[in-house]
Amino acid sequence: MPTSIIGTGRALPQREVSNTALAKQLNIPASDIIRKTGVKTRYWSEPKDTASTLAIDASLKALQKAGVSLREIGLILVTTTTPDMFFPSTACMVQKGLAERLEGMGNVPAFDINASCSGFIYALSIADQFLKSGAAEAALVIATDVKSRFIDPKDVSTAVLFGDGAGAAVLKNDARGIRKIRLGADGRYYPLIQLPVGGTALPFSQDTLKTGRYFMEMKGKRLFRVAVRKMTEALTDFSNETGLDLKEVDFFIFHQANLRILEAVFKRTCIPLQKTELSLKMFGNTSSSTIPIALDLALEAEKIKPGDQVICSAFGGGVTWGNVLIEW
């Protein structure tokens, strides 16, 4: 049976950061921010907020909407590029946090993956295999990122674009659901967006800290070109693979990278704006969590109805990409 998303939830930090505040901080006109990115506001974490706390809040909402108890969950999968710490996994911390709030959490597999902004679709693919094989009755897939902790406050290209947030989905076998998933990656482009210091290539030290490269780095112009080309090609190929013309698709959920990227993809693929959900203007680019957050918003507004053909499409650092076709 297909794997179905039966409940979604989202969580955002409380601190809202306006374009006016950032414009003053960066000494640029506020009108430039909305024009270049499409972002009006974003939410940044307070010290108490972490990837796991946001993930737990989003998960509780998704479980409630799905009407699923923790006893039924057989897998916890977290996708993030900003984990609470390198190890143990953020998924294990989420498991602990859920067990403290609800009864019935078993000793189920819990682990993280990192596919940057494509992470949610990569995670759906893994959870889909768990459920289809019978290894789990239900799965909890969570995307969570706290990018604000790794943004250079003086870097215009990243400081205005990224926000923090988490989105979660409960998956279970049903009559309708995931019909096809296609993933891809091209590691040649990894330098286009990266966090250089902190891993085994450039560990934290007095010398590496002096370089200032512990902040996220993004080569925006080149990344824009690659993103538009890869997203367009991947979406077109996916349409051909599924035999479903993009005009026949009822709704699209895209990774909310940047409004200019999305507009370029829409233009090349002839996708009308009314067939998409734009959460970017409210929350900014929340990395791997943009798709589940946008999906939660669309479902809440009843923009997606039973029987609809829905495509979720993502592109992220690495570079990575992915598309999933879901019959709702």
Burial state string for 220-255 with b = 16 or more CB within 10 A and e = fewer than 16:
eeebbebbbebbbebbeebbeebebebeebebbbbb
Q: 90 and 239: one domain?
A: no
Residues making up the chain, counted from first to last: 328
Are residues 202 and 140 in contact, defined by beta-carbon separation less than 8 angstroms?
no
Q: In this predicted structure, what is the pLDDT of residue 69?
A: 96
- Measured between alpha carbons, how far is 62 from 2 in angstroms, rounded to an integer? 19
pLDDT of residue 90: 98
Beta strands, E only, 135-270: 138-146, 164-173, 178-185, 193-194, 217-218, 251-254
Q: Is 255 an annotated catalytic residue?
A: yes
The tally of CA atoms less than 13 A away on the side-chain side of residue 209 is 3
Q: Which domain holds residue 108?
A: 3-175
Domain boundary among 122, 148, 175: 175
Whether 315 and 222 map to the same domain: the answer is yes
Does one domain contain both 192 and 165?
no
Q: Please report the pLDDT score of residue 1 as a whole number.
A: 85
pLDDT in tens, 196-210: 999 999 999 999 989
pTM of the model: 0.96
Residues 259 and 304 reside in one and the same domain: yes
Pair (50, 162) in one structural domain: yes
State the CATH number of the domain containing residue 19: 3.40.47.10
Q: Is 285 an annotated catalytic residue?
A: yes
Are 152 and 216 contacting, i.e. CB atoms less than 8 angstroms apart? yes
Number of domains in the chain: 2
What confidence score (pLDDT) does residue 212 get? 86
CA-to-CA distance for 297 and 55, rounded, in angstroms?
A: 17
How much is the pLDDT for 28?
Answer: 95
Bridge partners of residue 193, in order along the sequence = 218
Q: Which of 19, 117, 258, 323 is catalytic?
A: 117
The tokens for 302 are 């009843």
Residue 165 to residue 181: CA distance in whole angstroms: 24
Residues 26 and 158 in one domain: yes
**Is 258 marked active-site?**
no
Classify the C-alpha dihedral 111-65-178-190 as positive or negative: negative
Q: What is the DSSP string of 219-233?
A: -HHHHHHHHHHHHHH
Q: Which one from 19, 285, 312, 323 is the annotated catalytic residue?
A: 285
Low-confidence residues of the chain: pLDDT under 50: none
- Pick the catalytic residue from 19, 255, 258, 323: 255
Question: How far is the C-alpha of 306 from the C-alpha of 192, rounded, in Å?
Answer: 39
For 289, what's the count of Cα atoms within 13 Å in the CB-facing half-sphere?
A: 33
User: Is the domain of 171 the same as that of 185?
Assistant: no
